[in-house]
Structure 1
Amino acid sequence: MQIVSIEDFTRQSFDFLVIGGGTAGLVVASRLAQDGRFTVGVIEAGGPVNGREDVDIPGYFGKSLGSEIDWKFRSAPLAEVGGKTLMCPRGKALGGSSAINFMTWCRASREDYDAWEVLGNPGWGWDDLLPYFKKSETFHPPSPAVQAEEDIRYDPDSFGYSGPIHISYTTHIPPRHRLWSNTLNSLGVKTNSAHAAGSIAGVWTNINNIDPRTMTRSFATNYCALAGSDLHIMTQATVQDIVLDKTSDGYVASGVRFIHGNQEYVVSASREVILSAGTIKSPQILELSGVGNPEILSRAGIAVKVESPMVGENLQEHKAIHAIVEHDPGLENSDDLFLDADFAAAAREQFARDKTGSLAHVFGHYAFVPLARYIPQDTLDKLCSRVQALTEFSAEKKAILEERLRCTDKRGQIEYIFKLGAGRLAESGRKLATLYQILQYSFSVGSVHIQPAPSQREDPVIDPGFYQGPTGELDLEVMLESTRFAREILLAPHMSSIVKQLVHPPASFYGDDEAMRKWIVDHTGMAMHAVGTCALGGHAGVRGGVVDERLKVLGVESLRVVDASIMPLQIGAHIQATVYAIAEKAADMILQDAARQQ
């Protein structure tokens, strides 16, 4: 990893400049530098974090949230919940959010990516992206003994075996895993034996980006080893804006203005500037550069260079709530790592000795369940009628959203995760477990925009749009129906053998729809899966998005966006693996375009 001084960075001549050394940024930069023909610069606000225990050790997942390597964004105050703000963690480090996330590695269903093509974005369907999923990963199969003992099922042909990111099933799957699978099976949710092969629906054992050779997090900094001396990384540097030069036809990106050590610098790129600052920062940087909605820019005192009304719009985020239950005190609990000093010391010693035990794994009890599997047909029909009545969406988008509701077997409207532990809600002397319920396909959308003048260079205004208007009302009804199913999971015969009491919400709430609606609204959070704020425009062009199918910013030459913000529709999966695939595909496209220009 070639981190350079400010003097060396500003003296260098760059072909490409990448804004953001996060998940997507390091992939693109490393692949371009690996080509051997180009000099690539990366500008990152954070610094290196390899070697930190809260990054490397799997069992410490979540510990770095709120630390100095987290941007610590919060949403704008939400009127629906009395002005409360929501946490919106994002990695501020080399590796970005891949350094602080929970190491979940999964792909959405084929239909989710094919929907991007339906909206008018050729080359972005499942068949186009699958090679890039594989290119990013090295899959380590479980041992035959673990596979047989724990009934782990997967399709070996779905994975890659030579990529920079090492992925694996945990080597330590506790007995409760079978309990989770048996519970979901008893409720009609089948075990998915090929959960990475184009259909995520069902219950399955999760894969994590953990290198089983070292039992440590495998993340985006691994890519830097590909790059050699043509990659130059500037850390602790905050980008102010993109330098846009006026031409006879419009504007062309020629460089980047940034702050390092309280001093402003400008560096140039002879070929392209690549914006990879993520769903929250990328639209902010575009707006600060004069690309965006004229009304937003005017309020911030920014001169309009390129009118692009969808910059910062179309924010889509998975809505997450969690029920807390009390469980059998005889079971090991992840909270013991933080509440029981003796247990924590023993776990730390065991991990140091042989890389096993509680610190060597993360939770892996997942289920993606189609809504149509557990709600009455007349309720489903009413929900679909309300979708068709929405005026916010095009006919093709409404057709996609309705199909997602009616789907019975290919993708899950709701994700359920079970974990023995309650994290921030843990209580000393009490064994608590968490059932997470995460809405995958939200109807409501939000926005991310710069602050009004004179504070436009502060954190952007993040409005998740939760439960607002007709689309938000639809989300609330889906969450209500899904909460009923969550109760069925907790009270099913297998699960009830360890669940002793419903704690949060209490059992009495489940019979009162109004009380449950209020509880859902009051306790919904953001799932760290925000997408869409610089989306592929598709058929609608600049009125529907920000970039074209080559990820070029509409209306600006030599500028692309490469990160989660380009997704036009949210996917039904954790987004990490998809971001890697997007970046791998983007790198190929950029190299192809460069070859045509020579």
Structure 2
Amino acid sequence: MVPLTGVSAADFACQDFDYLIVGGGTAGLAVAARLSENPSLSIGVLEAGPAALGEAAINEPGRFLETLGTKYDWQFETTPQAGLGDRTLVWPRGKVLGGTSALNLMTWNRGSRQDYDAWEELGNRGWGWDDLLPYFKKSESFHSPEKETQSHNRQHIDYKATGTGGPIHTSYSKQYPITHQLCHDTYVSLGIDENKAHQAGSNVGVWTNLSTVNPETNTRSYSASAYYAPIAAKPNLFVLTEALVKNVVLSHEDGQLSATGVRFAHAGEEFVASALREVILSAGSIQSPQLLELSGVGNPQVLRDAGVEVKVANSNVGENLQDHLMTVSVFEIDPSVGMPRPGAPACVVCYLPASTVISDEISKPLASKVQETEVSRIEKEGAILKNRFEADANLGQFEYIFDLANWNSNFKPEEGDDKMYCSMLQILQYPFSKGSIHIRPSTMVEADGSSISSITDKPIIDPGYYAGPHGELDLDVMTHCIRFSDKLCASAPLSDVVGSRVYPPSSVTSDDQLREWVVENTTTDWHPVGTCAMGGHGGINSGVVDERLRVYGVGRLRVVDAGIMPLQISAHLQATVYAIAEKGAHMILEDMVKRRELGEE
């Protein structure tokens, strides 16, 4: 296949790239676009999936679930999770130009100020809210709704915190079901504040969600269409699709181990592409650590078991995996409310602290249990996690999303059932559960008898849901947060149209019964982070990259994607990933200028 830029794999391998980016996904294409703004630089991007800019299933917002499990999806799965009754969970990730931004549900929001300030507290200078806000704004082009609809549809925005000239188009839905107003009013009746500045440093409260939809064309706005397509003809930008990177080439230069290029496969042939300045891994939270390990950077035991030569020993590679855990309660609803027209999910979103959701009778002993449990080997990190559970912590410990659909795959109405259902999604934002992603032990035998693991072997994904004493805390919290959904749906005016809870079944009432249901029904919200985390104060003893996103122990190699996040945030990820990419590109160019000033190049 000839890629969009018209360059063949052989020609790509012959180019002298200044910067070589592995992964043409959410972050990778954003980084490439910003680096290419300097016409003196040559930028190469290798993407394992195809280009699909004309794919209707991607571009049409109402078809957002159709691409899952297709050729555009890596179709990853977790290991059987003991905390989930030995169930495995499907983990979709984008295998297409644009990455997961081409597959996601287009939700656009940010975490609270404290989420990003926590990264800086861990020693990662320049990663607090004030530092990141300019990059959030730089990535975004917000389309303001008509004034007459703003108040009626509860569409509020703080224009000082919103971008208007960035590549990614964000907008509110043009149409809402009647339950949109009813749900808002019910939250308010329960004492929940309406958040009219949910992009400005606090997402706590109830508000109307934004989506990455261009309202002028009614199409998904994602990294391939927004960052790449407008500049695809640039002479200094080369993108090769369906190119599977096998590992990073590490060489000794001036007494230091440095990244000089990558090995990749294309159409059954193997090639080597070179980078004169840097290799940038933007393969995501799953495959950036996988590629580091396949390149010899990681836990020595993991590498030896996989038949990979140890070049840099760092036991943090692939560790620190954090994900958002989700359960979905299903209720009957009056069919007269109707169904919304197909489009990006237009939902009422609410983020609440644990102290608001869980009764004092339960939250106080639970908070004490949190304080008594060792939740992290890093003292400062443990303190941050525990402080998020304090009664005065005004942070979104839980996200609640009400929607007119049955979102629980375990609830299957009987044949002939003509009832209409709605769902309440309950999503834990600050999990204590942590896991890992690692390459598999040797599965291939070479001609000389040696064994090695390969990029074609899917990594071992073990999120550790509800595992260990700290994971037990998550299970406790998820069990109790379901009762708030019951309370909301039983309160006016939402109760005027929402009927009885059907899943969990109405017979499930005790804490023990709910706990069992949570184990059987918890799933992922597909927000993995942390597997190549910034090390902060602890450096290589605590993480994989420094605050400039440079891999410890290897020159000329960076990671720029969600994997660098040391702690999970209370938000959907894509806006933050774009901000990371924007900031990462800025630092790369900044460091290049600094090296020139020092006469190092």
TM range (shorter): over 0.9
User: How far off its partner does 1:408 sit?
Assistant: 4.8
Query: Could you say which residue in structure 2 is the equivalent of 1:119?
Result: 122
Partner Cα separation in structure 2 for residue 487 and residue 283 of structure 1: 40
Report if the CA contact (8 A) 1:61-1:362 is conserved: no
- Following superposition, the deviation at residue 226 of structure 1 comes to 4.1
Q: CA deviation at 1:596?
A: 1.4
Encode CA deviations 1:377-416: one digit per residue, 9 max, x unaligned. 4533333333333333333222211221125574210001
Partner Cα distance (2:359, 2:175) in 1: 39
Are 1:182 and 2:185 an aligned pair?
yes
Q: Give the drift of 1:54.
A: 1.5
- CA separation of 1:502 and 1:161: change in aligned 2, threshold 3 A: same
Matched, 1:146 2:149: yes
Match of 2:227 among 202, 223, 226: 223
1:450 Cα deviation from its structure 2 partner? 0.3
Identical positions, percent: 48
Mapped contact 1:39–1:230 kept (Cα < 8 A): yes
Q: How does 1:251-270 map to 2 (within 5 A)?
A: 251-270=257-276
CA contact (8 A) 1:31 1:226 kept: no
Contact 1:34–1:226 (CA under 8 A) maintained in structure 2: no
Given that 1:109 and 1:410 are in contact with CA atoms closer than 8 Å, whether structure 2 keeps it comes out as no
Which secondary structure does the structure 2 equivalent of 1:127 belong to? helix
Question: In structure 2, how many angstroms separate the alpha carbons of the residues matched to 1:273 and 1:591?
Answer: 13
Q: Distance in 2 between matches of 1:37 and 1:588?
A: 16
- Structure 1 stretch 195-204 or stretch 70-79: which is displaced more? 70-79
Distance in 2 (CA, whole Å) between partners of 1:376 and 1:466 is 24
Cross-structure match for 2:459:
460
CA distance in 2, matches of 1:541, 1:382: 35
For 2:434 and 2:550, locate their aligned partners in 1 and report how far apart those are by CA, in whole Å.
23
Q: Is 2:359 the partner of 1:376? A: yes
Shift of 1:562: 0.2
Q: Match of 1:305? A: 311
Task: Give the counterpart of 1:291 among 291, 297, 301.
Answer: 297
Q: Describe the shift of the 1:223–1:3 C-alpha distance in structure 2 as closer, same or farther (beyond 3 A).
A: farther
* 1:412 aligned onto 2:396: yes
Is residue 109–residue 198 contact of structure 1 (8 Å, CA) maintained in 2? Answer: yes
CA RMSD of aligned residues (A): 1.6
The aligned counterpart of 2:328 is 322
Q: How does 1:472-483 map to 2 (within 5 A)?
A: 472-483=471-482
Change (3 A) 1:326 1:378: closer
Distance 1:374 1:15 in 2: 51
Partner of 2:137: 134
Counterpart in 2 of 1:517? 515
What SS is found at the alignment partner of 1:163? coil
Name the stretch that deviates more: 12-21 or 376-385: 376-385
Distance in 2 between residues matched to 1:582 and 1:189, nearest whole Å: 31
Aligned to 1:395: 379
TM-fit CA distance, 1:248:
5.5
Residue number in structure 2 paired with 1:233 = 239
| 8 A Cα contact 1:387 1:401, kept in partner | no
Do the aligned residues in 2 keep the contact of 1:23 with 1:579 (CA within 8 Å)?
Answer: yes
Q: Which moved more, 1:495-504 or 1:435-444?
A: 495-504
State the one-letter code of the partner of 2:267: G
Q: Which structure 2 segments of 5+ residues have no match?
A: 445-452, 597-601
Correspondence 1:592 to 2:576: no
Q: Deviation at 1:11?
A: 2.2
Distance in 1 of aligned mates of 2:161 and 2:6: 35
User: For each residue in 1:6-37, what CA deviation from the matched residue of structure 2 results, as whole angstroms up to 9, or x when unmatched?
Assistant: 13212211111000000000011111111212
Residue 90 of structure 1 and its aligned partner are, at CA, apart by 0.5
Question: Shift of the alpha carbon at 1:484?
Answer: 1.3
Q: Aligned pairs, how many?
A: 574
Corresponding residue for 1:350? none
Q: Is 1:451 paired with 2:440?
A: yes
Match of 2:450 in 1: none
Q: Deviations over 1:316-368 (max 9, x none)?
A: 0000110111211123236xxxxxxxxxxxxxxxxxxxxxxx13442321100
Distance in 1 of aligned mates of 2:274 and 2:195? 50
Confirm whether residue 494 of structure 1 aligns to residue 498 of structure 2. no
Match of 2:531 in 1: 533
Q: 1: distance between equivalents of 2:125 and 2:36?
A: 27
Which has the higher mean CA deviation after the structures are superposed, 374-383 or 455-464?
374-383
Query: Structure 2: how far apart are the matches of 1:389 and 1:408?
Result: 18
Q: Could you tell me how far 1:495 is from its partner in structure 2? A: 2.0
**How many Å apart are 1:375 and its aligned residue?**
2.4
Corresponding residue of 1:353: none
Does residue 56 in structure 1 map to residue 39 in structure 2?
Answer: no
For structure 1, the 5+ residue unaligned runs are: 335-357
TM-score by length of structure 2 reads 0.93
State the one-letter code of the partner of 1:536: M
Is this contact kept in 2: 1:25–1:583, CA < 8 A? yes
Where 2:262 maps in the other structure, the secondary structure is strand
Whole-Å separation in 2 of the counterparts to 1:486 and 1:408: 22
Question: Match of 1:105?
Answer: 108
**2:548 is paired with a residue of what secondary structure?**
coil
Q: Using the alignment, how far apart are the partners of 1:11 and 1:429 within structure 2? A: 62
Deviation digits for residues 413-454 of structure 1 (CA, Å, limit 9, x no counterpart): 000111111155565633121110000000110000001102
C-alpha distance in 2, partners of 1:259/1:452?
Answer: 21
* CA 1:70–1:407: 2 relative to 1, 3 Å: farther
Aligned twin of 2:20: 17
Q: Could you list the per-position Cα deviations for residues 161-194 of structure 1 after superposition, in whole angstroms to 9, with x for gaps in the alignment?
A: 1000010111112221111111111222111010
What does residue 196 of structure 1 align with? 199
CA distance in 2, matches of 1:359, 1:134: 28
2:428 equivalent to 1:439? yes
Higher alpha-carbon deviation: 242-251 or 423-432: 423-432
Aligned ranges 1:163-182 → 2 under 5 Å? 163-182=166-185
Pair 1:359-2:342 in alignment: yes
Deviation at residue 82 of structure 1 after TM alignment: 3.9
8 Å Cα contact 2:64-2:344 kept in structure 1: no
Of 42-51 and 101-110, deviating more is 42-51
Structure 1 counterpart of 2:221, which letter?
A: S
TM-score (norm 1): 0.93
User: Which structure has the highest helix share of the two?
Assistant: 1
Q: 206, 211, 224: which one pairs with 2:214?
A: 211
Q: Distance in 1 between matches of 2:592 and 2:471?
A: 44
Question: Bigger CA drift: 224-233 or 554-563?
Answer: 224-233
Structure 1: distance between partners of 2:550 and 2:69: 33
Q: Which residue of 2 aligns with 1:78?
A: 81
| Correspondence for 1:548 | 546
Do the aligned partners of 1:371 and 1:408 also contact (CA within 8 Å) in 2? no
C-alpha separation in 1, matches of 2:403 and 2:63: 14
Query: 1:359 is paired with a residue of what secondary structure?
Result: coil
User: 1:421 aligned to 2:419?
Assistant: no
